[in-house]
Chain A
Amino acid sequence: MVPSKGAASKSAAKRPRVAPPTAAAETPLPPDKLRELYYWMRLTRTLEERLVALYRQTKVVGGLFRSLGQEADSVGSAFALERRDVLSPLIRNLGSMLVKGATPLEILRQYMAKGDSPTRGRELNIHFGDRERGFIGQISPLGDMLPVMAGVTLSFKMRGEDRVGLVYVGDGATSTGAFHEGINFAAVQRCPLVVVVENNGYAYSTPTHKQTAAKQFVDKALGYGVPGEQADGNDVLAVYAATRRAVDRARRGEGVTLLEFMTYRRKGHAEHDNQSYVPRGEIERWERENDPLTRFTDRLTSEFGVDNAALEAIDDRVRAEVDAATDEAEKSPPPEALDALVGVYADPATAETLWYREGESAAVEQHERAEGWGTYSAGASTTPKED
């Protein structure tokens, strides 16, 4: 397979951020699978909306990262994996993690820095993983998960295990050395790895044309000697189909595939980001014309004969689940301060207590909260239109 040719104009800056046409006849999924895709996308969106509410109540301790408008590419790609496969999500892949078995309760506890959160309050937001369920927690330096997933999938190859890995990077991460080293290493070793570049137009405030002079990210596949494919990231079925082809290829021992999903980040880098750098009308246009949930809902009802009542029932179920998880998460205790010293090493299991902290169970009586970074502040708020 050769890298596909996307519609790219001569001026990178003016290139329209429209997705390439989807291959017409994708193998349709059975109705229950289609409804399941809708469920994961709806759960992602509703859970994030709940997090916004909690953020504004200052119950979310750190920053809040949205995937609004990108739910299809997370859900559709993760859905193409088997249970035994492993993925490594990025900050906008809440949907992928939910598909892989992360629960709303875990997400809420994690954002609220609770003691019974998946990382016991050590890490922020969706930075967590579970080897059993097949997702590996990311770290903040971008691109770093590519070499790590090269190693994860190298181990599958070495042991002859029938397992595939998938790693997400953003348009920004493709500029890092780790991205280059990781995909090159994996390509040489023919690791069973799918590399997904989510092109959502911005890395924090930096638009894609300031990130790369390449016309499109899928072109980079050629340089690494791996097949590449570009797909409409806001069409969940197109994402699923493209990922499935790459996963099947990896499973057959044919190595790495680079996928580029064209999508759009409708919220800021994080909730504090007011998106002042976005051209007027761009966000609204994507919301109006290319919302992945609206598009999928339309297809489900018009093309696949799913009735509105069935979808509303899913919406109700999602709301009930998120409500229950919120109630539960709010009851969770904060971490015990002494747990901060546990588990840096297997041996010794606990770090040494500083002598002036001997016998103390807390460092301060009141835990200050940063105003400027992380917590919601009305002055630096995002545009209010979609809340």
Chain B
Amino acid sequence: MAEITYLEAIREGLVEEMVRDTNVFCLGEDIGAYGGAFKVTDGLLAKYGESRVIDTPISEAAIVGAAAGAAHMGMRPVCEMQFIDFISCAYDMLTNYVATARYRAFLPCPIVVRGPSGGYVRGGPFHSQNPEAAFLHTPGLKIVYPSTASDAYGLLKAAIRDDDPVLYFEHKYLYRRIKEELPNGDHVVPIGKARLAREGRDLSIITYAATVWKALEAAEQLEKEDGLSVDVLDLRSLLPMDDEAIMATVKKTNRVMIVHEDTRTGGVAGEVTARITERAFAWLDAPILRVTAADVPLPYSPPLEDFVLPQTSDIVTVARQLAAY
């Protein structure tokens, strides 16, 4: 198999699932004739027609709500948020309706809500968000956020086949920058399992999405310049979270930092930190440190955006502090 991009991997996964299961259909804004704002669904309308590739009005609540209703009846809808920033327009539907359906009403709600997420693209405050933390504390939802093309492909398949609602965040910075040869066969990446992206002994970086690549870059530099051996754990799934893999890396290196692109306060890093202190406090040789975005809306202009978002150099700086503690 030839190399394909992260974006093509998502499309490939989607197409294969639509072929495999006729209950799978897509709905979203401009996903049909136009193929989606980033062309993830390009070509799908021609293949599957208007009944399975539905161009909707600008109505995120209706997209998610209608997906839920169809899912109750046995369908497997895949909703696209044109930008994931707009998922907050469907927050009520996701948290009050979708997430509670199985528990309160025994109604299965196997929907996927996917969309382009994240910054480093000069998108400004409404085209760069990472809203995962807003949904992390909603029981009933699952959240995945792949960093590689094969995980993008395998996690989408797992999300579509999952019997519960899955928020599938895809990083738009990675869409066309990451290229990879996909594994052969029906490659399904289980939800809830982290991936060890790099093996090391001296300290651990726990991260996900675009900052996985920054962490790997930093690890390379730390190895060369400081002789430090860094474990990089790519969470991939945020809900459920792979506690086993987290504790394993903590117990191996005893020094942990958490890196994410989302803002700091109330972010995923806080949750990971709490889990580690509850379960593996005795294994820590240093305080857990965070590298995150500053607590500001994401600005547009390159000097501003770059100052707010975590950079490879930040990871290196903090890793050196951690190693020296």
From known contacts A144-B96, A344-B140, infer whether A178 and B104 are also in contact, taking CB-CB under 8 Å: no
* B164–A181 touching, CB < 8 Å: no
* A149–B69 touching, CB < 8 Å: yes
* A346–B62 touching, CB < 8 Å: no
B residues contacting A by CB (< 8 A) are 25, 51-52, 54, 56-57, 59-75, 77, 92-93, 96-97, 100, 102-108, 139-140, 142, 162-164, 240
| Complex: chain A residue closest to B50, CB-CB | A189
From known contacts A137-B104, A152-B70, A154-B69, infer whether A185 and B25 are also in contact, taking CB-CB under 8 Å: no
Q: Note all chain A residues with C-beta closer than 8 A to B92.
A: 141, 144, 178
Q: Which of A152, A189, A344 contacts B103 (CB 8 A)?
A: A344
Which of A123, A127, A344 is most buried by chain B, counting CB atoms within 10 A of its CB?
A344
* B62–A181 touching, CB < 8 Å: yes
B106 to chain A, nearest CB (A): 7
Which of A144, A153, A155, A188 is most buried by chain B, counting CB atoms within 10 A of its CB?
A155
* B66–A346 touching, CB < 8 Å: no
Q: Note all chain A residues with C-beta closer than 8 A to B59.
A: 147, 181, 184-185
| Complex: chain B residue closest to A346, CB-CB | B163
* B69–A150 touching, CB < 8 Å: yes
* B65–A178 touching, CB < 8 Å: yes
* B66–A344 touching, CB < 8 Å: no
From known contacts A155-B75, A345-B140, infer whether A147 and B105 are also in contact, taking CB-CB under 8 Å: no
Q: A137-B107, A148-B69, A345-B164 are in contact. List 16 more A-B contacts (CB 8 A).
A: A136-B69, A136-B105, A139-B96, A147-B65, A150-B69, A152-B70, A152-B72, A178-B61, A181-B57, A181-B61, A185-B56, A185-B62, A344-B139, A345-B142, A347-B162, A347-B164
* B104–A122 touching, CB < 8 Å: yes
* A155–B163 touching, CB < 8 Å: no
Q: Which of B60, B71, B97 contacts A139 (CB 8 A)?
A: B97
Q: Note all chain B residues with C-beta closer than 8 A to A127.
A: 104-105
Q: List 7 A-B pairs, Cβ < 8 Å.
A: A136-B107, A147-B68, A150-B62, A151-B72, A155-B73, A178-B61, A181-B65
Q: Note all chain B residues with C-beta closer than 8 A to A185.
A: 56-57, 59, 62-63, 66
Q: Note all chain B residues with C-beta closer than 8 A to A334.
A: none
* B107–A129 touching, CB < 8 Å: yes
Q: Note all chain A residues with C-beta closer than 8 A to B72.
A: 131, 136, 148, 151-152
Q: How far is the CA of A222 from the CA of B25 in the complex (A)?
A: 30
| Complex: chain B residue closest to A129, CB-CB | B105
Q: How far is the CA of A149 from the CA of B69 in the complex (A)?
A: 6
Which of B63, B72, B142, B162 is most buried by chain A, counting CB atoms within 10 A of its CB?
B72
Q: How far is the CA of A351 from the CA of B240 in the complex (A)?
A: 11
Q: How far is the CA of A169 from the CA of B130 in the complex (A)?
A: 34
Is A24 positioned at the interface, with any CB of B under 8 Å from its CB?
Answer: no
A111-163 contacts to B (CB < 8 Å): 119, 122-123, 127-129, 131, 136-137, 139-141, 144, 146-158
| Complex: chain B residue closest to A351, CB-CB | B139
